[in-house]
Amino acid sequence: MAEPTDPPNEVEETNDTSLATRNFSIVKDEVESTITAPVNHGPSPRFSSLVHNVLEPMLNLGVHQAALRMKANETKAYIASTFINGWTQEVGKNIYPAFRLILPDKDRERAVYGLKEKALGRLWVKVLNLASDSPDAKSLSMWKQGGTDSAGNFSERCYEVLAKRTSLTEYGTMTVDEVNERLDILADGETDQKKQIEILTYFFKHMNATELKWLVRIILRQMKMHATEKVFFEPWHPDAESLFNVTASLKRVCWELTDRTKRLTSDEAQIKLFACFMPQIAGFPKHSAKDIASKHFKGRPFYIEEKIDGERMQMHMSEFGNKRTATLWTALRVL
């Protein structure tokens, strides 16, 4: 393959909250720096087992729901619990490597890749050595257009293009640990296009089209399957969601909560200094506003400000005359 001559990819705009870790030093969770990973007793399973037993079933939930004759929520719980039970029995209690690939948007340990659909599409064009004006190259660059089912779905568009060229018809042999290691290298080389092409080429040679489709979703941190983190947290540990809410740490959820019979104390489930936490987790009051007012104010008068949903507006008032240095557009419109 010819040596790439294009300049390194510029980091595209993204609303990924983990972008903050690139330019700012973040205070580390003190507890997270002291915990150690549980040691697995079995080898790392193949990435294809994740795709075949978790990702594809969650994506095509209706098919499995009909086969199992269960409701949607029951089917999701069955898929997640079956996978987790199998992992703990055959691999061990350290499920963090798998959760990093199943829930990539919740993993704040891995740096951002600096790749969105447009940049990733350009890289695939180079990996496949496509002419820039070829139909498949245009299909990747204009992935939102077209009359096919993949229009607007970048990973499916990649699947259509990659399936024509991959030499693997069966699942590949890459393990979960190997995929994580390569993704770490990809994240470290976010501005090195040569390294990015090298990593994606390796994936292309060792994965089939279905695995590559999910790899694209993992890189974009957009899994788009019928399951949130709660689906996997519930069969993992009863307190997994509570700990994640006050730490936002997937690593702590996986490393600390390895024993389902050991529950968190009330202190361990509280927000702490220097620990990230999820927004909007305040509890609802158990008493009415009238009960709270009578208990705290005991008949004394008090003031309360009504909170109205919507955009916040602010007005500045001056008590020393009219010196507003601005154009009064309302008056001009009236005139």
CA distance 162 to 156: 10
CA distance 34 to 255: 11
Q: What is the DSSP letter of 326?
A: S
Amino acid at 73: N
CA distance 127 to 114: 18
Catalytic residue, candidates 286, 290, 298, 307: 307
What lies within 8 Å, CB to CB, of 233 at 6+ separation is: 240, 241, 244, 253
CA distance 205 to 197: 12
Name the residue among 77, 285, 85 with its Cα closest to residue 68. Answer: 77
Amino acid at 69: R
- List the structure tokens of 217: 């979703």
CA distance 100 to 180: 8
Element of type H or E holding 87: helix 72-90
Residue 103 · residue 228 · CB < 8 Å: no
Catalytic residue check, 307: yes
CA distance 237 to 219: 27
CA distance 223 to 56: 11
Which class for 70: exposed (0-12), middle (13-18), buried (19 or more C-beta within 10 A)? middle
Helix (H, G, I), strand (E, B) or coil at 46: strand
Which class for 237: exposed (0-12), middle (13-18), buried (19 or more C-beta within 10 A)? buried
Give counts: helices (H), strands (E), the chain. 17, 0
**What residues are labeled active site?**
307
